[in-house]
Structure 1
Amino acid sequence: MSTATKSPILNLPNILTLLRIAAIPLLVVLLLSPSKEAGFWAAALFAIASITDWLDGYLARRMGIETVFGKFLDPIADKLIVMAALIMLLPFNRVPAWMVLVILGREIIITGLRGLASTEGIVIPASNLGKFKTIFQIVAILGLLLHYDYHWFFAVNHPLLTVNMHNIGIFYLWIATVITIWSGIDYLAKFTSIIAK
């Protein structure tokens, strides 16, 4: 039995999800500029949006107001903001195009398969791989948005106190890409197994 309720669509968790979608145009505008300041504010906006991703699900469960609308919209909002950030970073060569293709292609294929399964009344549960994928994608994108060197301890310009956020972003993006492929194969295997039955 579904745990979704007949709560009003405009409840607090769903409003947070809608705000996450509304933040995408602002994120896009910020990423039209390659400046350090624009990247910082884009990263801050993306971080806040990522927190609302966790918060809306937590509140929905805590308040007992999970809705069909929320269950549909929440993953769509997540994918849209990740897609927007990665695509907007492409013109500045901050992210390899093939990685973006793999990540976005996986999301489109799996979303399509989920839709196909749901029309047959089949629910394929998300695995922990999907959660890890999301976490590493978020960390990677934050690093890529910040991009530049940042100095710790009152901006002391010393090599040992300097971190290049782009390198950190790329490191985590490699991990995210591997998990993206792994989780995609895992989902395809589950889908094929269930459909075969």
Structure 2
Amino acid sequence: MLNKNFFNLPNQLTILRVILIPAFLIFLYFDTYVTNVIAAVIFAVASLTDFVDGYLARKYNIVTDIGKILDPVADKILVASSLIALMELGRVEGVVVILLLSRDFAVGALRDLSASKGKIIAAGFSGKLKTVFQMIAVGFLIYKNNLIGIDIFFIGKILIYLSVVLSIYSGVEYYIKFFAKINE
């Protein structure tokens, strides 16, 4: 049975993020000017819930065990589904998707291993920066349209490649922190 803490606002926002994923994918796959805009807005809202739920949970000290599990799972589902859909639509190369998802899964596994040994390794600045670049890039690639004469899709392509570089760098950085922490 779930307790009342399960239904706190941060957890509700995490659940909302998961619920928004099929909606944004439906609009994305129609691939018209209007549906790309709608998909990008839904993706942006879903991405913002990630920031807001974590902020609220920490600020009001309502961090729950279920939230610690649901939040990263929701993030991985959002990122993986958007990258795979963009690959299917020919907006991002498969190697980019493989590198980004592989890094996320590898770091996730390392986090689990670290936690099982009672060691917590905080996300570094480069990992947070990678996430910002990746979310903006994905949003721009979903949007795909020009905006006041600016080629948003082209900017999205540049940002997704930058997020790959940041992703690899932050992944290596995380592994270095892990081995330093384990050897303490």
What is the TM-score when the length of structure 1 is the normalising length? 0.87
**Ranges in structure 2 where 5+ consecutive residues have no aligned partner:** none
Instruction: Find runs of 4+ consecutive structure 1 residues off by over 6 angstroms.
Output: none
Q: Deviations over 1:4-57 (max 9, x none)?
A: xx9711101110011101111112222222212111111000111111111111
- The number of aligned residues is 182
Would you say 1:27 and 2:24 are equivalent positions? Answer: yes
Q: CA separation in 2, counterparts of 1:144 and 1:132?
A: 18
Aligned with 1:25: secondary structure? helix
* Counterpart mapping for 1:47-196 below 5 A: 47-150=44-147, 152=148, 162-196=149-183
Other structure's SS at 2:6 match = coil
CA distance in 2, matches of 1:142, 1:52: 14
Shift of 1:193: 2.2
Cα contact 1:14–1:56 (8 A) shared by 2? yes
Q: Deviations over 1:132-185 (max 9, x none)?
A: 0110011101110111223x2xxxxxxxxx111110100111111110000000
1:76 is displaced (CA, Å) by 1.9
- Give the alignment's Cα RMSD to 1 decimal: 1.5
Q: CA deviation at 1:108?
A: 0.7
The answer to whether structure 1 residue 41 and structure 2 residue 28 are counterparts is no
Structure number, greater radius of gyration: 1
Instruction: Work out whether residues 99 and 177 of structure 1, in 8 Å CA contact, stay in contact via their aligned partners in 2.
Output: yes
Higher mean C-alpha deviation, range 6-15 or range 51-60: 6-15
Task: Name the TM-score, length of structure 2 as normaliser.
Answer: 0.93
Give the counterpart letter for 2:140 in structure 1.
G
Q: Partner of 1:156 in structure 2?
A: none
